[in-house]
Structure 1
Amino acid sequence: MQHEPGALLYDPATDKVGEYQDRSGPYAMLRPLGGGREWQADPAALRPATERERLHASVRAVNSRARTDGPFMVGLRRPPEPAPDCAECGELAAARESARAAHDHSAETDANVLLRSHQRQQHPTA
């Protein structure tokens, strides 16, 4: 099967989705989404990536970029501080700390967003 450059293909040997680059001898050359080192794959084993596999590979690429693009993170707001004596603020701050300890950056961000929203609604002068 002939693949077009840029096609997203699933490689069962590596259990990864890659962007088809070209052929190199008997191999297909794939590159991870978002860039990275190419790898050789058996062209007969490749198949088009499913929507779920494409989404997983895209999220992985975005997360990788977020971890490595430190200079772009300069100027981000500091995490919100919970209001004293507010049980809901305390719960959201605790959820944020649990997510941070588990290295779950998505849940940590969600907790910060919910805490800011709660503070705007319940503590507008804080």
Structure 2
Amino acid sequence: MEPGTLLYDTATDQVGEYRDQSGPYTMLRPVGGGREWQAHPSTLRPATDRERLSAGVRAANDRTWAVPPDPEDLSRPPWPVPGCAECTHLDGRRETARAAHDRSAATDANALLRRHRRAEHP
């Protein structure tokens, strides 16, 4: 069997990538990486298309949520701090600009909200 072949372990209800043999056991690891486990060959079967797809989506989701978003990421709009009047005001300016399709004013409101957050909500 080739390393990387996807197998379904009926004992653990998991899809794993075949790694190698270890004595009488087969070594598998989760799709996308992780801690390997031993499986008895009698509990293994080839993974179905649905199981392979599900395992791939799970691995992609795990990669997405592994690192929290950077609050200084300029590709994302800043969030107002709940209960802060100035944050609420700047968020309202941004929403008004978006509703008017005024991207320049929306960008200005984002910049002001970021500046306010850095100064008042470290």
Amino acid at match of 1:17: V
Deviation (angstroms), 1:79: 6.8
Moved more, 14-23 or 75-84: 75-84
Runs of 4+ residues deviating >6 angstroms: 79-82
2:30 is equivalent to residue 16 of structure 1: no
Q: 1:79 to 1:57 in 2, by over 3 A?
A: farther
Residue 39 of structure 1 corresponds to which residue in structure 2?
A: 37
d(CA) in 2 for partners of 1:123 and 1:15? 52
2:58 is equivalent to residue 60 of structure 1: yes
- Structure 1 unmatched runs, 5+: 85-118
Residue 30 of structure 1 corresponds to which residue in structure 2?
A: 28
Once the two structures are aligned, what percentage of the paired residues are identical? 58
Residue 101 of structure 2 corresponds to which residue in structure 1?
A: 124
Residues 26-77 of structure 1: CA deviation (Å, up to 9, x unaligned)? 000000011110001111221111111111111111111122134xx43241
- Structure 2 unmatched runs, 5+: 80-90, 107-122
2:28 is equivalent to residue 51 of structure 1: no
- Structure number with larger C-alpha Rg: 2
User: Secondary structure of 1:52's partner?
Assistant: helix
Residue 77 of structure 1 corresponds to which residue in structure 2?
A: 76
d(CA) in 2 for partners of 1:123 and 1:42? 63
Amino acid at match of 1:40: Q
Amino acid at match of 2:101: P
**1, 4, 9: which one aligns with 2:2:** 4
TM-score norm. by structure 1 comes to 0.59
d(CA) in 2 for partners of 1:123 and 1:12? 56
The count of aligned residue pairs is: 86
